[in-house]
Amino acid sequence: MIIQKEASVTCTQLPVVEAVPLQMNQLFYNVLSNALKFTTPTRRPVITIRETELAEEMIRRFPALKDSKKYVCIECRDNGIGFNEKYSDQIFAVFQRLNNKEHYSGSGIGLALCKKIVSNHGGEIFATSKEGDGSTFYMILPKNKPGDLL
């Protein structure tokens, strides 16, 4: 799909986290697939993946995150069709779609699975967006020490 859409995908060096590799593969596959799926035909897709600094107030924003742990935030930004942010929680629910099935294929479980994967690893996922101007997905994952249980 990257070649077909002539997309530009840039990834900076990402942190190493102790995680279930298959689940991390599924997480990134789903997030990137959405970024490539929800594009506008008049703009070449541009996707950037990078680690961003996680401010302490962000950790406090999510009650499930523990003050005693260190976390990393991986950001996936695209220049696609975006969505109205009032639906930012809805996109992570099973079978919840914001777009017409006839224009965009999919089952409506990809982002719900992403939320479950991140949650299984003790983290959080959320998105920001602006209609017509792309979306950014933030995946907050703990920096696990060797021997920590998932």
Question: What six digits make up the tokens of 70?
Answer: 């260190």
| 109 and 80 Cβ atoms separated by less than 8 Å | no
Burial category of 105 from C-beta neighbours within 10 Å (exposed 0-12, middle 13-18, buried 19 and up): exposed
- Domain architecture of the chain: domains with CATH: 8-142 (3.30.565.10)
Asked if pLDDT for residue 31 goes beyond 90, the answer is yes
Please state the rounded mean pLDDT for residues 5-11.
Answer: 94
Q: What is the pLDDT of residue 1?
A: 87
Cβ contact 131:102 at 8 Å: no
Task: Compute and round to an integer the Cα radius of gyration of the chain.
Answer: 15
**Angle CA 88–120–130, to nearest 5:** 15
Report the first-to-last Cα separation within the chain, whole angstroms.
32
In total, the chain counts a number of residues equal to 150
pLDDT for residue 59: 82
Average pLDDT over residues 24-37: 94
| Number of Cβ atoms within 10 Å of the Cβ of 28 | 18
Over range 76-94, report the average pLDDT: 80
Reported confidence tier of residue 9, pLDDT bands at 50, 70, 90: very high
Q: Which pLDDT value is given to residue 104? A: 45
- What's the whole-number mean pLDDT along residues 53-64? 82
Q: Is pLDDT at 102 greater than 60 in this prediction?
A: no
Average pLDDT, integer, range 43-52 = 95
